[in-house]
């Protein structure tokens, strides 16, 4: 007998530093409702996976952020 288990893909936000000019304060940072985005100087932003709620606001705001599948 075959039983099917619910399968839920783990999504995560992927940051593409190559799309970021890294010469300004990230305008998406204050838009993140979870406070999950941080930036050191003008470097490309990073996302704290533990804080991120996968709301997608950053993905809609800037193409540096992409909703991807967890590869770990």
Q: Where along the sequence are the contacts to ligand SF4 (CB under 6 A)? A: 13, 32-34, 36-37, 47, 52-58
Please state the closest distance from residue 24 (CB atom) to ligand SF4, in A.
Answer: 18
User: In angstroms, rounded to a whole number, what is the distance separating the alpha carbons of residues 28 and 13?
Assistant: 13
> Could you tell me if 46 and 14 are in contact, meaning their C-beta atoms sit under 8 angstroms apart?
no
Task: Give least dist CB 46 to ligand SF4, A.
Answer: 10
Residue 50: CB minimum distance to ligand SF4, A: 11
- Give 22 or 39: the residue with its C-beta nearer to ligand SF4: 39
Q: In the beta sheet, which residues pair with residue 69?
A: 11
Alpha carbon distance 67, 10 (integer Å): 10
């Amino acid at each position: 007998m075959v039983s099917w288990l619910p399968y839920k893909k783990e999504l995560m936000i992927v940051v593409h530093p190559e799309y970021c000019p890294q010469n300004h304060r990230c305008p998406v940072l204050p838009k993140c409702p979870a406070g999950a985005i941080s930036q050191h100087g003008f470097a490309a932003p990073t996302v704290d996976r533990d804080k991120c709620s996968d709301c997608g606001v950053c993905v809609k705001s800037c193409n540096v952020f992409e909703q991807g599948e967890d590869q770990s």
